[in-house]
Every structure is written in C-alpha cells, then in structure tokens.
Amino acid sequence: MVPQPRGVPRWGTAGLAVLLLVLAVSCGGGTIVGSSPTPFAGQTPQRTAAVTTTRVVPSPAAPGGPPPAAPTLAACSGDAPCPLVQDAINKIDAHRMNDHVRALTAVGSRDPRHAGHAKAVAYIKEQLGALTYYGWKIESQRTTYQAIPLENIFASIDGASAAFSGHSLPRLQPAAQGSWVLVSAHYDSIANRTPGWRPAVDPAPGADDNATGTAALLEFARIISEGPRESLRGRIVLAFFDGEELFYKGSAAYVQTLAKPHPYRAAINLDMVGFNPIADRLDLLWYTSASAALRDRVVATEKRYAIGIQPLNPQAAPDGNTIMDAAPFGLAGIPSIALTQRYGLPDATHPGNTTFHTVNDTPDKITNPRLWLKAAKLTLAVALELATAPD
C-alpha cells in the first residue's frame, strides 16, 4: 500500500475531469490549428507497389524447385486461443518494457513545453525507425494547442507491406478501409498537481502515466515485426499521441482528419497500467453503444487467453468524463475502448495512485509490473485477433 501523502487530495478520475474542465474553461479553451494533412485520412493506401511485388524466394533445400508454401494465415475463430496470438503475447518482454520506461522518464519531462519532450520524440522514432526494415511506415502529425506544438507519431503496417524479403509472403491486398486497428498510448506527461510546477523547466517523469502504455506499444512493434505481420489482413496503426494531458488534443486532432466512413474497425487505448499494489485490476472504458461489441470482445479475449486480470471492470464513460485518448474515437462512433488501472474513486481493489500528475510519478511507482504485462498482453491479443481475422 502506498501511503497517502498529507495534503494531497485523493483525486478520483471523475473529480480530476471536473477539475480539468474547470481549468479548461478558465483558460478560455483552445483550438487546434495547423493540423497537417495525414496519410491516414482515409485515402487509398499508398503501398500498392510493395504489396504486389511479393518476392518469392526458392527454397535452398530444393534449388530450382517450387517456392515454399506461403505461411498459413492463422485466422482466429471460435473460443479457442489462436496460436499466432498466443505466441505473440508470450513474447512480450517485461524487461524491454522496463527499459523503455527508464529511457522515457530519463528525459526529465515529456510535457510539450519542456526540452525533454523532443528527446522523447527522438527516442520513440529511433526505436520505431529500427523496424522500418519489416515494413513499418513511420509518420508524424504536427498540430498546436494554444501555441504549444504537439506531435503525434504513428507506426503502421499492412501484412502485405512487409519489406523483409527473406520469407515467402502471401499475396495479399492492402488493408481495406474499415479494417484498420488502432492501438494508442499518449507519451506526453504533466506534473501540474505539484504546487508551483513550471512546465518548461520542472520534471514530469510520467512513469505510470503514461510511459507504461508507451513502452507497451514499442514492444508491440517489435513483436509484430517478428512474425504476426505475415498474417495481418488489416492494417495495424500504433499511435503515440501527444497532448493527452492537455485534454487529449493530439488524438482529437487526429480523429478530425479521418475520412468517413472511418477506416478503423477498432481503437484500443492503453493509459496508466502499472500501479496497483493490491490487485491485478483493469477498467475498460467505452463511450457509446457502437463500442459494445469491442468491449465484449476484450472481455472474451481476456478469458480466451487466461490472462488473469481480476477484476476486469467494463464501465461506460459516455459524458464529460472523457479524459483519455479513446474518447474522441468513441464519441466519433468508432468502436473504442480504453484499458486503464482505475476509473473512478479509490476502492477495495485500487488505492489510488496519488503520485500521478506530480513530479513523483517515477518508475518506482510502477508497483505492479505483473498487471502492466497483463494489460499489454490483452491489448496485443485483441489487436492481433482483429487484424488477422478474415472479415
């Protein structure tokens, strides 16, 4: 149990939302300007050439013979665990995630007004850039909020876009509109609950909030590269959103760029998944009835792979308590779900992380690496089941 610091209010998420709303109003609100065009705006995918030039490598064991059979597309169906998904989630490396958290917190602050922000951007791009060999496309979307520059970072991959030519890849079409799966985490941080905190110079380590989710996405990119990419039917987009702590301005700006009908069949968000000294609890936030099927799928997937999250709490968050990056997607009618360690007030299964949004949200506050790993497994399992499904 983490002791409650004296004089620090035990903010529930809802209470925080009210506070943030008050602050937003008192600041006069703000508007997104200068949103750059995005390649994810629903245009025709631009990787047709890479898709249609599938290279078939003759088997060394049978020179001149027929090419080896294409890898089996392991579509997941029914209630049985899908081997491809099971294998992928088994590969999630908690030590690698921890290394990412150490790097992301070592920059001091990822607040977009702080010099550490650019270092975090560089780190994320460096990690993703090392995987472009496998067919990942790395892009940025820049926008501003109240003159504060924000940068969303995207890594996207289609099964058929894989650049690695050492395998015989199945001949697939580019991911169709409507088949895309978005997995997001915000990488920005804030510490405005620390009295006197100055955004441009003071620390905002944001370990639990949300280096935990950011690190998980970086690990997903590595794992998808090592195998599942060959079986993707739909595009997977890993979104590293900025400005969530400024009222999810990064994700909101992105949703505004999406064409209609929306290209995404699901948007899954990870935010604060490493603190809970008393239970392996996760809350699933959903926003409209359009997300009900996705919510039920997440619950079923947790059971299918026996991930062991207990309790798993689906909760509707349909109104102003929309403080996570899943919100703009859900409210736009895109099936959307947020995985977080707690939504609401402290209770018997969550004591409340009093260090979030303070200078003390340091890596040692990730008190439940087991929960962190389970949240990562569930997120990747849902994303891969969706992205490898034939429909």
Residue numbers at the binding site for Zn ion (CB under 5 A): 209-210, 271
| Inter-CA distances, 321 with 45, 247, 278, 315, Å | 35, 11, 25, 12
Nearer to Zn ion, 161 or 341 (CB): 341
Instruction: Please list, in sequence order, all residues whose beta carbon lies within 8 angstroms of the beta carbon of residue 18, skipping any fewer than 6 positions away.
Output: 320
The number of beta carbons lying within 10 Å of the beta carbon of residue 319 is 10
Nearer to Zn ion, 15 or 81 (CB): 15
The answer to whether 357 and 318 are in contact (CB under 8 A) is no
| Inter-CA distances, 264 with 18, 317, 389, Å | 30, 20, 14
Nearer to Zn ion, 227 or 344 (CB): 344
Residue 158 C-beta: closest distance to Zn ion, Å: 29
Instruction: Please list, in sequence order, all residues whose beta carbon lies within 8 angstroms of the beta carbon of residue 378, skipping any fewer than 6 positions away.
Output: 282, 298, 301, 302, 305, 307, 309, 339
Residue 186 C-beta: closest distance to Zn ion, Å: 6
Residue 327 C-beta: closest distance to Zn ion, Å: 12
Nearer to Zn ion, 51 or 101 (CB): 101
CA distance linking residue 357 with residue 223, whole number of Å: 30
Residue 245 C-beta: closest distance to Zn ion, Å: 7
Nearer to Zn ion, 158 or 209 (CB): 209
Nearer to Zn ion, 135 or 213 (CB): 213
Residue 210 C-beta: closest distance to Zn ion, Å: 4
Instruction: Please list, in sequence order, all residues whose beta carbon lies within 8 angstroms of the beta carbon of residue 385, skipping any fewer than 6 positions away.
Output: 76, 82, 85, 297, 301
